[in-house]
Amino acid sequence: MKKIILTGDRPTGKLHVGHYIGSIKSRLELQNSENYDEFYVMIADAQALTDNAGNVQKVKENILEVALDYLSCGLDPKKVCLFIQSEVPALTEISFYYMNLVTLSRLKRNPTVKEEIKLRGFEESVPVGFLTYPISQTADITAFEANIIPVGDDQKPMIEQAREIVRSFNTTYGETLVMPEAVVPKSKSQSRLVGTDGKGKMSKSLGNCIYLSDSEDTVKQKIMNMYTDPNHIKITDPGQIEGNVVFEYLDAFVKDDSFEKYLPEYKNLDELKAHYKRGGLGDVKIKLFLNNILQEILRPIREKREALAKDPQKVYKILFEGSDKANIKANKTLAKIKNAMGINYRANI
């Protein structure tokens, strides 16, 4: 069976280190493994509009920002098809047919959508487009016959819903669609990176993000202000690891050679944690260590981003060429879908 990968992000803001560790890093590993047949990364502008109807400009601007983030992290348009969702009209048409295979009560049960509705304070006034975006996401996935979907934990219910729609379509109209599978990050600290304030997931609306495009000084400042253990006042006080943002980030970002490079008096994270718990290890030291590790990751990304940002036309060209390719594939699948459903009237008359 072919290995087809598809994933994407809503362009509602610049990408942050939570995106990097939760999804971009594994996309780069997949890309560099070259162990796949097709690889699509979609900028989900149409999905972003489902709760931004009045903010089209914001979504539009962030298409470029997200594309810059992708490219500066190393996603290679020669290996990966980068495209814009709204540039592929077949996705909308496919969604319309899938809508007949899903009940309203099933949509309302989707835990991620439920959570998002609460967060946005929609209550009963939730836009139909928003409630039904898991259907459109199923169209995104199936239009490309994708079977490998690398996503964060919060997207698992979307893939579950997509699998139900695929099953329902295939039983109703005959075996047509490919069954997708979610691939989620290995560890919790990676799949759900906490914000710098320790209050919850890193998210733009909470103002607790470190962006891939932040300057060196901004990154350092955000790290120095990170939430640690409020009871760890004097260096000699015993400290808590649990809920300590600096340690959560170290869990997610530390590399085999980080200690040797930046903190040679410790062998590994376990030793560092043990010292912190015992007392005698100050917050400034662990923060500066984290700063070194993050700056090493972010420096090349920032430099590449600054260079790319000087030529937005070049970035759009990449996205439009990707969208042209995406259209060819999605139109083929749409034809298969209409065939299976028996609504290919012109072919039969």
- The C-alpha atoms of residue 283 and residue 38 are separated, in whole angstroms, by 45
Residue 274 CA, distance from chain mean position: 33
Q: Which is nearer to ligand TRP, 162 or 223 (CB)?
A: 162
Q: Does 7 bind ligand TRP (CB under 6 A)?
A: yes
Q: Which is nearer to ligand TRP, 8 or 18 (CB)?
A: 8
Q: Does 184 bind ligand TRP (CB under 6 A)?
A: no
The amino acid present at 269, given as its one-letter code, is: L
Q: Does 140 bind ligand TRP (CB under 6 A)?
A: yes
Q: Does 117 bind ligand TRP (CB under 6 A)?
A: no
Q: Does 9 bind ligand TRP (CB under 6 A)?
A: yes
- The C-alpha atoms of residue 6 and residue 139 are separated, in whole angstroms, by 11
Minimum distance of ligand TRP from residue 40's CB (angstroms): 9
- The C-alpha atoms of residue 1 and residue 313 are separated, in whole angstroms, by 37
Q: Does 149 bind ligand TRP (CB under 6 A)?
A: yes
Q: Does 44 bind ligand TRP (CB under 6 A)?
A: yes
Residue 182 CA, distance from chain mean position: 13
How far from 120 is each of 59, 79, 123, CA to CA, in Å? 17, 37, 8
Site for ligand TRP in 10-39 (CB under 6 A): 10
Among 62, 137, 147, 208, binds ligand TRP (CB under 6 A): 137
Minimum distance of ligand TRP from residue 9's CB (angstroms): 5
Q: Does 62 bind ligand TRP (CB under 6 A)?
A: no
Q: Does 142 bind ligand TRP (CB under 6 A)?
A: no
Q: Does 141 bind ligand TRP (CB under 6 A)?
A: yes
How far from 72 is each of 31, 64, 84, 339, CA to CA, in Å? 14, 12, 18, 41
- The closest of 339, 336, 236, 245 to 294, measured between CA atoms, is 245
Among 151, 178, 246, 308, binds ligand TRP (CB under 6 A): 151
- The C-alpha atoms of residue 24 and residue 27 are separated, in whole angstroms, by 5
Minimum distance of ligand TRP from residue 135's CB (angstroms): 11
Q: Which is nearer to ligand TRP, 64 or 269 (CB)?
A: 64
> Which residue is closest to ligand TRP by CB?
44
Contact 100, 10 (CB under 8 A): no
Minimum distance of ligand TRP from residue 161's CB (angstroms): 11
Structure tokens at 239: 């400290």
Q: Does 90 bind ligand TRP (CB under 6 A)?
A: no
The amino acid present at 82, given as its one-letter code, is: L
**How far does the chain reach from its first CA to its final CA, in angstroms?**
34
Residue ranges binding ligand TRP (CB under 6 A): 6-10, 42, 44, 47, 137, 140-141, 149, 151, 155
